[in-house]
């Protein structure tokens, strides 16, 4: 895995993400309360906080898996404002800029690993089957899974499945990558395989927003740390600094709880 994961990274227009005054309710429950946050192109932002703090919901708002109730989101040059009807065309355009990796992998079990990576390319980038599969094989090779190409995801370990899910998203040349607790469903020793791939991706200059409980990853890899609680950002800044010197009591309690695990 010495070859950089995406040699094309520099050719890509990497986008930033701008979130302003975002709010989201589920029924009577205000899960995101006036969130504003800026993610610079090519930077890595780690989102941490206790469960129920709204960090996953925030992430899912960025590619509109959740529809925000207030505020706006800008990805690259595309802005989506809450309350305005989003045309299907704009929705798809947004999602094509943004890749996402889920906690539960969500590979398509009825496709082979190769088809999982190739099929979206054919549909979204209009590549021919040969072209899409050739690129899929190259990417799988780079994460050390070339030999799994013709098997079904059910035959792969969790760590392998998550690496395939990352490759599936990368194959579409996203400008931003979202990670929703990518290692939470994995045993620690397997999570490392996935974190290694993510670290390479960060080194290659991808814009990344990562919801995580991996404090070491947050400290070593991310450029910016955002701490959330009860639907608000309670603290943000340099990861190492916040971890060494939390400015908020709730941050301190959360960190010690996570580190004691």
Q: Where does this chain bind other proteins (CB under 8 A)?
A: 63, 65, 88, 92, 95-96, 98-100, 102, 104, 106-110, 119-120, 123-124, 152, 154, 165, 168-169, 172
CB of 243 to other proteins, least distance (A): 30
CB of 140 to other proteins, least distance (A): 17
Q: Considering beta carbons, is residue 179 or 254 the nearer one to other proteins? A: 179
CB of 115 to other proteins, least distance (A): 10
Enumerate the β-bridge partners of residue 23.
Answer: 70
Q: Considering beta carbons, is residue 4 or 158 the nearer one to other proteins? A: 158
Q: Which residue, 198, 217, 216, 215, is CA-closest to 207?
A: 198
Q: Considering beta carbons, is residue 6 or 101 the nearer one to other proteins? A: 101
d(CA 48, CA 239): 11
Which three-class secondary structure state does DSSP give residue 163? helix
DSSP run (H or E) holding 251: helix 249-260
Judge contact between 5 and 197, C-beta under 8 A. Answer: yes
CB of 161 to other proteins, least distance (A): 12
What residues have CB less than 8 Å from 225, skipping those under 6 apart? Answer: 45, 46, 48, 218, 236, 237, 238, 239, 242, 243
Q: Considering beta carbons, is residue 35 or 59 the nearer one to other proteins? A: 59
Q: Considering beta carbons, is residue 149 or 165 the nearer one to other proteins? A: 165
| CA distances (Å), origin 259, targets 150, 177, 188, 213 | 40, 26, 14, 9
CB of 132 to other proteins, least distance (A): 13
d(CA 39, CA 183): 22
CB of 90 to other proteins, least distance (A): 12
CB of 251 to other proteins, least distance (A): 30
Q: Considering beta carbons, is residue 110 or 129 the nearer one to other proteins? A: 110
Q: Which residue, 123, 211, 208, is CA-closest to 172?
A: 123
d(CA 22, CA 37): 9
Q: Considering beta carbons, is residue 65 or 192 the nearer one to other proteins? A: 65
């Amino acid at each position: 895995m010495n070859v950089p994961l995406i040699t094309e990274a520099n050719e890509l227009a990497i986008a930033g993400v701008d979130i302003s005054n975002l709010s989201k309710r589920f029924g009577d429950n205000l899960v995101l309360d006036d969130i504003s946050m800026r993610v610079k192109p090519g930077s890595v932002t780690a989102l941490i906080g206790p469960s129920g703090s709204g960090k996953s919901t925030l992430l899912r708002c960025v590619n509109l898996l959740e529809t925000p109730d207030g505020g706006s989101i800008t990805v690259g040059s595309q802005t989506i404002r809450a309350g305005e009807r989003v045309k299907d065309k704009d929705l798809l355009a947004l999602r094509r800029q943004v890749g996402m990796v889920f906690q539960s992998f969500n590979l398509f079990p009825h496709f082979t690993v190769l088809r999982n990576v190739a099929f979206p390319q054919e549909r979204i980038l209009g590549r021919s089957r040969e072209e899409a599969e050739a690129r899929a094989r190259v990417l799988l090779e780079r994460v050390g899974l070339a030999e799994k190409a013709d098997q079904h995801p059910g035959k792969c370990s969790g760590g392998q499945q998550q690496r395939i899910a990352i490759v599936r998203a990368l194959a579409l040349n996203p400008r931003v990558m979202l990670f929703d607790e990518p290692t939470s469903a994995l045993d620690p020793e397997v999570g490392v395989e996935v974190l290694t791939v993510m670290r390479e991706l960060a080194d290659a200059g991808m814009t990344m927003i990562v919801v995580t409980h991996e404090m070491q990853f947050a400290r070593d890899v991310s450029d910016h740390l955002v701490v959330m609680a009860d639907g608000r950002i309670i603290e943000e800044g340099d990861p190492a600094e916040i971890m060494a010197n939390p400015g908020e009591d709730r941050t301190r309690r959360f960190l010690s709880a996570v580190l004691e695990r």
